[in-house]
């Protein structure tokens, strides 16, 4: 069975759990007919254009010849269909051709894209991040030059952070920017792991590049952000940036991951000098939420494939879907997917509504909890397939290989745990977390397992706020996962309080016993402390 967008599940998560209709005052054009049209249109694109080239793209991969990357067969046609439908402009500024709709709707569209073809989805995902960064930090002339073409999909965008010696610690980057007489900068250096850094799907690629202006302070405080187009703006000539290598990756084979050499490339400062990280974090936060959504999407795709296999594979005189343990794996995956979906949508709705505290708290949860879910569900999908899951012929292995990158990029999940503790929890001394716990306890009045898990999160939060930093950091990942357990459960419980759906009730019961009942068991690991890990 090919991928089919689970529109009913998506609508429950959007409307009942994440409270989409709370945005009506800000987005008066939003109504049920528009929502249905968007979801149905995205489902059709995903099912008809993207899913059919997912496996073939994985097998064919991409090629590099003379600095030019050739995309996998069918990707040009699929991108053109995506571009012509106007999906990139769904939530973008109408002044530059966007539709100005909620980010939550864009996120729902991208769930179908990533589930159908994660390699493909990375290209417009990065363009969307570039659009947000330029909208927020670009000068008027930069917005006029780049936004309309990025929003239309005519041009694509990338994000250039990592260098051979500078991964998560961007303060170590050595790419340099030398001021030029015309107001531009000559950008020199090498960037690695640049997703869709070179390709043949658009005539121009707009690179957002971190570099250090000559004489700037050392470390992260001296980093600036630059717009570096593949082809120069003024005359269309080739700029000094070229792809010098492609990574051979575990998964996402149809997505070119490039090493880019900047050789005196003409670039233009975006935002203020030495404030590049602040500007880049606009793009990174958008990417982190979208990567969390990738976890949900790949989990959904893996679940659908595993269920289809279980319904057609006979063993022991019955289809294997009749075996209780197979039903356990499938139902657990589906229940956790729904919780992760609600968490991602709720993060976007917090952004749409201007609830910055909730958006900031939810973002590391969405990125980390949901990408861990993606790996777990893809692994369960392999298990359901049995021996056929472990060979490429079965098709389940691709989902596992593709899912495994998501906990790593856009800040590893360990970094998300540090962010949740250091920036979010300590940043407001637990105020936003206290609101989440209060919400969970309120919903827990009708769901004892949720109440128990929320109480455990309260105890864990008290520990994290009072413990020495090293001890808190030692428990930070488990603390994040506990918070995600509770947040996902709270959102589904809220949805059930608004909409009586028998399937959702059944899924929440499974989530309660398999996830929330185990949540208090995370407390000992959270409180273990650093000494035991060092020893």
Report phi then psi at 268, rounded to 5: -125, 130
Q: Which two tokens stand for residue 534?
A: 């060092």
**What's the CA gap between 135 and 103, in Å, rounded?**
14
- Catalytic residue, chosen from 132, 410, 443, 478, is 410
**What's the CA gap between 215 and 205, in Å, rounded?**
29
Q: Which two tokens stand for residue 270?
A: 């975006």
Please, which residues bridge with residue 179 across strands?
Answer: 185
Please, which residues bridge with residue 314 across strands?
Answer: 319
Q: Which two tokens stand for residue 365?
A: 């949860």
The SS3 call for residue 212 is strand
Place of tokens 């996962």: 481
Q: Which two tokens stand for residue 133?
A: 């960064």
**What's the CA gap between 327 and 337, in Å, rounded?**
15
494 neighbors 17 (Cβ within 8 angstroms): yes
**What's the CA gap between 308 and 300, in Å, rounded?**
12
516 neighbors 453 (Cβ within 8 angstroms): yes
Q: Which two tokens stand for residue 113?
A: 């894209």
What is the secondary structure of 10-33 as a DSSP string?
HHIIIIIIS-GGGGTTT-TT--HH
358 neighbors 348 (Cβ within 8 angstroms): no
User: Residue 114: left (phi > 0), alpha (psi -120 to 50), or beta?
Assistant: alpha
What does the DSSP 8-state code read for residue 72? P
The SS3 call for residue 65 is strand
392 is catalytic: no
E strands along 6-67, which residues? Answer: 63-65
Catalytic site residues?
A: 410
């Amino acid at each position: 069975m090919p991928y089919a967008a689970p529109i009913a599940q998506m609508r429950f998560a959007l409307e009942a759990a994440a409270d989409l209709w709370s945005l009506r005052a800000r987005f008066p054009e939003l109504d049920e007919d528009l929502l249905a049209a968007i979801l149905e249109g995205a489902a059709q694109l995903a099912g008809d254009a993207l899913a059919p080239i997912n496996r073939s793209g994985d097998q064919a991969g991409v090629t590099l010849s003379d600095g030019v990357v050739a995309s996998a067969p069918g990707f040009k046609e699929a991108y053109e269909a995506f571009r012509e439908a106007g999906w990139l402009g769904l939530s973008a500024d109408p002044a530059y051709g966007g539709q100005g709709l909620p980010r939550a709707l864009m996120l729902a569209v991208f769930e179908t894209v990533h589930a159908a073809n994660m390699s493909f989805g990375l290209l417009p995902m990065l363009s969307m991040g570039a659009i947000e960064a330029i909208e927020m930090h670009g000068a008027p002339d930069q917005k006029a030059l780049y936004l309309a073409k990025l929003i239309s999909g005519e041009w694509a965008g990338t994000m250039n952070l990592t260098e051979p010696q500078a991964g998560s610690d961007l303060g170590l980057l050595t790419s340099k920017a030398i001021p030029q007489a015309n107001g531009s900068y000559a950008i020199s250096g090498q960037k690695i792991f640049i997703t869709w850094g070179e390709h043949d799907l658009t005539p121009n690629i707009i690179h957002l590049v971190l570099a250090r202006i000559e004489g700037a302070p050392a470390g992260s405080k001296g980093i600036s952000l630059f717009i570096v187009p593949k082809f120069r703006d003024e005359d269309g000539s080739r700029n000094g940036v070229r792809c010098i290598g492609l990574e051979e990756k575990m998964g996402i084979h149809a997505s070119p991951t490039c090493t880019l050499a900047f050789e005196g490339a003409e670039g233009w400062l975006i935002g203020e000098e030495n404030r590049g990280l602040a500007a880049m974090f606009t793009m990174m936060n958008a990417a982190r939420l979208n990567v969390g959504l990738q976890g949900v999407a790949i989990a959904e795709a893996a679940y659908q494939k595993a269920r289809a296999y279980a319904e057609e594979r006979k063993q022991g005189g019955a289809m294997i879907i009749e075996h209780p343990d197979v039903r356990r794996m499938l139902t657990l995956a589906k229940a956790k997917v729904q919780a992760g979906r609600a968490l991602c949508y709720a993060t976007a709705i917090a952004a749409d509504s201007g609830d910055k505290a909730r958006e900031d708290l939810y973002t590391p949860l969405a990125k980390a909890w949901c990408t861990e879910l993606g790996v777990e569900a893809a692994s369960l999908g392999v298990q359901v397939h049995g021996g056929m899951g472990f060979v490429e012929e079965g098709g389940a292995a691709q989902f596992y290989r593709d899912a495994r990158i998501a906990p790593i990029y856009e800040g590893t999940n360990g970094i998300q745990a540090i962010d949740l503790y250091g920036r979010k929890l300590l940043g407001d001394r637990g105020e936003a977390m206290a609101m989440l716990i209060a919400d969970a306890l309120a919903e827990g009045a009708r769901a004892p397992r949720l109440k128990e898990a929320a109480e455990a999160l309260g105890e864990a939060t008290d520990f994290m706020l009072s413990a020495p930093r090293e001890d808190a950091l030692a428990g930070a990942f488990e603390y994040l996962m506990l918070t995600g357990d509770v947040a996902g459960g709270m959102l589904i419980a809220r949805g059930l309080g608004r909409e009586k759906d028998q399937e959702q009730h059944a899924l929440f019961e499974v989530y309660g016993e398999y996830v929330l009942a185990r949540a208090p068991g995370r407390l000992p690991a959270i409180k273990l402390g650093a000494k035991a890990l060092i020893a």
